Amino acid sequence: MKTSKIRKWGPWLALVLVFSIATSLLSWWQFSRREEAVNKIDLVLENYDSAPVPLSELIWEIDENGNAKSEWQSVLVTGEYLSEYTTLVRNRPLSGQPGFLQLVPLLLQDGRILIVERGWLAGSSDITTPQSNPLPDSGIKELVVRLRAPEMDLGKAEVAGQLASINLDLLVERFSGIGKVIPDYYGRLVSETPGSNAYPIALPRPSLNEGNHLSYAFQWIIFGLMAFIAFFWAYRNDKRLQLESQGLIAPKVRKRTLADQDNEIEDASQ
């Protein structure tokens, strides 16, 4: 390639390469997000409908991808609710309606405290408090709960009696005076015996939809390929125009279209 052509097309080729690298990285990111979604779906399919086992028999392990192998596993626990320490998790919409999650500590027979998410509460008109907050009845209860991994700390300002996420480390600190909170997982209530008079709304089964990550990944790959196709088309078209201007090849004859035929008919009729 001549120096003049390198000066003309080199920057464009560099731009195409940078764009293609960017689209490749975005495609890889979407493939990674899909893999994460599929791993979470696999955990739901494997554990959600499994028979409950005693909590003492369960081993909570984290795999190489950072996923808890026993997430969504049902377990049996026995203990007494500490209703006076009920905590709400704010900004938890359900079906488009603002609301809260209710967290109640459960004092287990071995002295540890398991945080139990009992369900969803609709927000009041000012959205800062729930419309109602039905607490569990007192006394020893047998519960079936599905274990969940804790959520990240969102770094938001603390509100009395509320959390921005189910960050168990914060509850470990808050409840340090009443017992040792299990920091690795919490339980989503499935059933309790004997039952209470009122309950929050149970959350629905987790979605098994992996999202659009796969289609987005392929779209980014196509965008990168299209950039190369456009570059080579522009290069060849420029080369052809130069050869035509030098008389080395015949000018390309444009195909007649229906519009051309219509114009010819109109000109003939005048």
pLDDT digits (tens, 9 = 90+) for 226-265: 999 998 888 888 887 777 777 667 676 666 666 666 566 6
Residue 115 banded pLDDT, cuts 50, 70, 90 = very high
User: For residue 62, what is the DSSP state?
Assistant: B
Q: Decide: 54 and 62 in contact? Cβ < 8 Å.
A: no
Q: In the predicted model, is pLDDT for residue 156 greater than 90?
A: no
Quote the CA–CA distance of 230 and 226 in Å, as a whole number: 6
Quick one: tokens of 184? 């690795």
Long-range contacts of 123-127 (CB under 8 A, 24+ apart): 123/97, 123/98, 123/99, 127/98
Contact 16, 228 (CB under 8 A): yes
Buried b (16+ CB within 10 A) or exposed e, 161-184: ebbbbbbbebbeebbeeeeebbee
What amino acid is encoded at 42 in this protein? D
Interval 149-173 mean pLDDT: 89
Residue 219 — very low, low, confident or very high, per pLDDT cuts 50/70/90? Answer: very high
**DSSP designation for 250:** P
Q: What confidence score (pLDDT) does residue 270 get?
A: 57
| Angle subtended by helix axes 3-47 and 213-245, to nearest 10 | 170
Mean pLDDT of all residues belonging to the chain: 88
Q: What percent of the chain has pLDDT over 90?
A: 56
Q: Distances from the Cα of 259 to the Cαs of 69, 208, 263, 268, in angstroms?
A: 66, 52, 6, 14
Q: Is the pLDDT of residue 23 over 90?
A: yes
- The pLDDT score that the predictor gives to residue 264 is 61
* 267 has pLDDT over 70: no
For residues 74-98, average pLDDT:
95
The rounded distance, in Å, linking the Cα atoms of 106 and 115 is: 6
Decide if 102 contacts 129 (C-beta within 8 A): no
Lowest-confidence range among 77-86, 217-226, 240-249?
240-249
Query: pTM of the full predicted structure?
Result: 0.77
Whole-angstrom Cα distance, residue 180 to residue 19? Answer: 53
Contact 206, 39 (CB under 8 A): no
Min mean pLDDT across 58-62, 125-129, 246-250 is at 246-250
